[in-house]
Structure 1
Amino acid sequence: MPLKLLSSLVMSGLPPWFPEPMRIVKVGSTIGALALTKWYASGSTCRADRDMHGRVVIITGGTTGIGAITAYELANRGAQIVLLTRQPPTDPFLAEFVDDLRDRTNNQLIYAEQVDLASLHSIRQFATRWVDNVPPRRLDMIILCAATLTPPGGRRSKTPEAGIETTWMVNFLANFHLLGILSPAIRAQPFDRDVRIIIPTCSTYIASPPLDAPFEDKNWSPGAAYARSKLALMVFAQAYQKHLDAYKRPDQLPMNARVFLADPGYTRTAGMMRWLTRGSLFGLLLYMLVYPLVWLLLKSPLMGAQTILYAALEGSLVREPGGKLFKECMEVDYARKDIKDEEVAKKLWEASDKLIEKAEKEAAVKRAKQKQEEEKKKEEEKQAKQVEEIESLVDAISKGKKKEAEKAKAKANTANKTKKGKTGKAAGSS
């Protein structure tokens, strides 16, 4: 049979139903090019592995996108996960998310703590509770995945508590405040513990305006605000590593905490969709129409999390100094010199401290006034209730007296009628 088929091909050529060779080449080349593009755009895969049983990991932004994948992968390796979320643990969605994560990873050590990154007071409450624990709570890793952005064309917004620009607050100042208060807990970890602070970033920082340049309403834009917050976070990461290294441990051993930056690349997250759609229904329609192209060129959340997982799981990093930037699961250079500029870092640190101090004082005054107003309102409600009770009591007494008077009157009338009846009978008998 094979010989007959081969001889037929040699003598008569290809059968008429067989596609033209050039068409096969074109189709094959197209499919190959698309597959190669998808493979390249998906980025590198983290090959590192590490037993995470017994290790405690704090994660912000761990309920969606890259953060959710990171939380799953670490929990699946046995880590105790503490999710910092804006919603309270009693929120139905959050409770269901935590239960589902526990079931999928067969790990019951997954918890949620309410921390609103747009509120300095909320951050301080959580971090202070963590630091005040005696003996110091175990803390092996902090992963700061939470971030926000304003869609193109959106307006500048401010936090309700302190009036700080929202992107700057959530993307930078919240992380600065959280790590600043948690410093004692990080420094208190035993020397044999590998402590890592992982800060995801974005390549948009390259186009950010300098941190010392004026950035007011007139030159504000969503893209510049996001890029500037990421640049500030990277400058702070370098300064924070130096802050940790300068600490003299009581046991005189070297510092065991390291700060790593991870660039996950462009990923199909909710934030990216919000950016591409410009936060509009028309933009969402266009996004759905071009989704095949988006799928081809952007990473999935799973692939976007690979570099973060590399920074968390790579064993060789325990022997490396902190302050490194990773992209595609390998170390890369910073594209800007001002990231390692100590003068820029010093000014940023001092300005952030002053801003937080001022904002917390103003917020404390607002809370005090609000508390006084609430207490005054409660007191007024209490007094009103007491007046109402007294009036009700007086009204009840008045009604009681009135009823008694009516009963007495009715009794007197009955007695009079009876007396008159008796008198009439007596007169008739005589």
Structure 2
Amino acid sequence: MPLPFLASLVFEGLPPWFPDPYLLLKSGTAISALALTKWYSSGRSNTSERKLHGRVVLLTGGTSGIGAAVAYELASRGAQLVLLTRHEQSDPFLVEYIQDLRDRTNNHLIYAEQCDLSSLYSIRQFATRWIDNSPPRRLDMIVLCASTLTPPGGKRTETVEGIETTWMVNYLANFHLLGILSPAIRAQPFDRDVRIIIPTCSSYIASPKLDEKEVLDQKNWTPGKAYARSKLAMMVFAKAFQKHLDAYKRPDELPMNARVVIVDPGLARTPGMRRWLTRGSLFGLFLYMVFYFFAWLLLKSPTMAAQSFLYAVMDGIFLRVPGARLIKECMEVDCARKDVEDEDVAKKLWESSDKLIEKTEKESALKRAKAKTAAEKVEEEKKEKEKLEEIEALIGTIKKGKAAQKKGKSKASTKDAK
């Protein structure tokens, strides 16, 4: 069969039903170009592997986007996950999500703790509970995947405590959390591989300087500047936090075993990216769905975006080299800005962050005290009102009883008279 067909091709040419070769060439070239573009935009995969059984991992942002992909990969390798979420443990969505994650990974060591990253008070409550333990609780890893942004054209928003939302969630919350957990990190045994994975984004390159006036400036605020500034601040803090850990002298006089790793996952099809592209509008969402093919082609999936996180979690090179290295596409890259390494910038950022947290927590404590006093006052008034109502009800009952007694006596005297 093949020989007659080949002979007919040689002597008679292509059969009439055979497609145009030029059309085949164009179609094949287009399909190959699309496949190559998709392969390139998907990024590199993590080739390192490591067993995580028994490792305790704190994870923020683990219920959606890249964080959910990281949570699945860590749980499937046996890690004991503690998901920090703003939801209560009894929240139906959270309960169902954790149970589903346990079933898919066959790992029942997955828990949730309430830690709202938009509230300094909530962060302090969780962190102090964690470190208030003797002996210190095991802590192998902290993976900070939580992030937020305001879509282009959106208005500046503040948390309940009065801090700009993007700055609070993307930077200050992580600064506050790691600052309180620092004793727990430093108290881990020397033979334990402790890692703090801090995310960033290439937008930090276009960020304004980290001056306190710039951060607090409301007139020139834009969503892009706020997001880029928070990522730059996180990178500066990551470098400073590694130096803070290295400066600690262990009681056993051994070197510090904690390593900070900065990870840039790249652009991915996450809820945050979708919110950015759609500008937070229904019409933008409609356009996103119409042109979804281009988003699929040019943006990573959350699973592929999580590969650099997995590389930072699993590769053994980080045990042998100094910390605070920047990882992108599962390999080390250089920082694009010099002020990331500037100690003066880091010192000013650290001091201003401490001052802002101290000031905000004092004001919040006063507000809570006033609210508690007002609530107690309302409760006392409510109790007094209930007592008065009880007394009035008792008096009313006594009056009714006396009236009934008088009525009974009058009836008896009338009966005797008859």
TM above 0.5? yes
Q: Which letter maps to 1:124?
A: R
Tell me what 1:56 maps to.
56
Q: Establish whether residue 187 from structure 1 lines up as the match of residue 177 from structure 2.
A: no
Structure 2 distance, partners of 1:82, 1:6, is 65
* Alpha-carbon distance, 1:184 to partner: 0.3
* Alpha-carbon distance, 1:406 to partner: 1.1
Q: Which letter maps to 1:263?
A: D
Tell me what 2:259 maps to.
258
The CA RMSD measured in Å over matched residues stands at 0.7
Q: Establish whether residue 209 from structure 1 lines up as the match of residue 213 from structure 2.
A: no
Q: Which letter maps to 1:119?
A: S
Tell me what 1:5 maps to.
5
* Alpha-carbon distance, 1:214 to partner: 2.2
Q: Which letter maps to 2:366?
A: V
* Alpha-carbon distance, 1:10 to partner: 1.5
* Alpha-carbon distance, 1:230 to partner: 0.4
Structure 1 residue ranges without an equivalent (≥5): 418-430
Structure 2 distance, partners of 1:111, 1:412, is 79
SS at match of 1:218: coil
SS at match of 1:214: helix
1:87-106 correspondence runs (5 A): 87-106=87-106
1:359-374 correspondence runs (5 A): 359-374=360-375
Structure 2 distance, partners of 1:339, 1:8, is 70
- Bigger Rg, which one: 1
Tell me what 1:420 maps to.
none
Structure 2 distance, partners of 1:251, 1:267, is 44
Structure 2 distance, partners of 1:110, 1:285, is 36
Structure 2 distance, partners of 1:43, 1:349, is 34
Structure 2 residue ranges without an equivalent (≥5): none
Q: Establish whether residue 387 from structure 1 lines up as the match of residue 404 from structure 2.
A: no
Aligned length: 416
Per-residue CA deviations over 1:44-69 (Å, capped at 9, x if unaligned) read: 00011001011100000001111011
Structure 1 distance, partners of 2:39, 2:128, is 45
Q: Establish whether residue 165 from structure 1 lines up as the match of residue 164 from structure 2.
A: yes
Structure 1 distance, partners of 2:214, 2:227, is 15
Structure 1 distance, partners of 2:62, 2:214, is 33
* Alpha-carbon distance, 1:158 to partner: 0.6
Structure 1 distance, partners of 2:302, 2:214, is 35
Divergent runs of 4+, >3 A: none
Per-residue CA deviations over 1:10-62 (Å, capped at 9, x if unaligned) read: 12110111110000000000000000000000000001100101110000000
1:318-397 correspondence runs (5 A): 318-397=319-398
Structure 1 distance, partners of 2:302, 2:3, is 52
Which piece of structure 1 moves more, 57-66 or 212-221? Answer: 212-221
Tell me what 1:302 maps to.
303
Structure 2 distance, partners of 1:408, 1:93, is 68
Structure 1 distance, partners of 2:13, 2:176, is 76
Q: Which letter maps to 2:342?
A: D
Structure 1 distance, partners of 2:11, 2:106, is 65
Q: Which letter maps to 1:71?
A: A
Tell me what 1:199 maps to.
198
Q: Which letter maps to 2:37?
A: T
Q: Establish whether residue 24 from structure 1 lines up as the match of residue 24 from structure 2.
A: yes
SS at match of 1:49: coil
Per-residue CA deviations over 1:190-239 (Å, capped at 9, x if unaligned) read: 00000000011110000000101624111100011000000000000000
Per-residue CA deviations over 1:151-173 (Å, capped at 9, x if unaligned) read: 1111101111x200010001000
Q: Percent identity?
A: 68
SS at match of 1:48: coil
Structure 2 distance, partners of 1:3, 1:368, is 93
Per-residue CA deviations over 1:275-296 (Å, capped at 9, x if unaligned) read: 1111110000000011000000
1:89-128 correspondence runs (5 A): 89-128=89-128
Per-residue CA deviations over 1:318-362 (Å, capped at 9, x if unaligned) read: 111101000000000000000010000000000000000000000
Q: Which letter maps to 2:138?
A: R
Q: Establish whether residue 86 from structure 1 lines up as the match of residue 90 from structure 2.
A: no
SS at match of 1:220: coil
* Alpha-carbon distance, 1:3 to partner: 2.3
* Alpha-carbon distance, 1:187 to partner: 0.2
Give TM-score, length-normalised by structure 2: 0.99
* Alpha-carbon distance, 1:2 to partner: 2.3
Q: Which letter maps to 2:194?
A: V
Q: Which letter maps to 2:222?
A: S
Per-residue CA deviations over 1:236-274 (Å, capped at 9, x if unaligned) read: 000000000000000000000010000000000000001
